[in-house]
Amino acid sequence: MLAAPPASAVQFIQGFTWYSDGSFAKSGPGSTVVTVYATNAVPNAQFDLNVAPVDAAAHGCSDAGTSLLFPNVRSSNNRGFIANTAGVVNRSAGDYEICFYERLAGGGYRTGTYPVFFTVT
């Protein structure tokens, strides 16, 4: 599923990020550990799992205030599935989006999965 290019860190949104329980939104204190996976991402590609403040104009996968949620590169399989990946949301109070950003060989990102949302209380 490709959407129109958003004003964001990625050119296209492809696939979906999910919490391990199948939900799209959660909340908790800073330093909460979250576990997410992705479906329908770009097949056989490498990804970073990032967290960023919600940017309504970006339509997901914001480029402002982005940081790694998981330090290692993740890979999708031939069906675009990215297995459960856990990370700590070390952020101050506010609303955040979490998504997998496809890594390009020369740097930067091309696609990102539609984010899940996390509110730090």
pLDDT tens, position by position, 47-88:
999 999 997 776 677 777 889 999 999 999 999 999 999 999
Q: How many domains does the chain have?
A: 1
d(CA 70, CA 75): 13
d(CA 4, CA 28): 32
Q: Which domain holds residue 90?
A: 12-98
103 is a domain residue: no
107 is a domain residue: no
Mean pLDDT rounded to a whole number for the chain: 89
83 is a domain residue: yes
Do residues 3 and 55 make contact, with C-beta atoms less than 8 angstroms apart?
A: no
pLDDT mean over 17-43: 97
26 is a domain residue: yes
105 is a domain residue: no
d(CA 29, CA 9): 26
Residue 1 has pLDDT above 60, yes or no: no
Do residues 82 and 100 make contact, with C-beta atoms less than 8 angstroms apart?
A: yes
The predicted structure's pLDDT at residue 58: 64
28-46 burial, b if ≥16 CB within 10 A, otherwise e? eeeebebebbbebbbeebb
The predicted structure's pLDDT at residue 9: 64
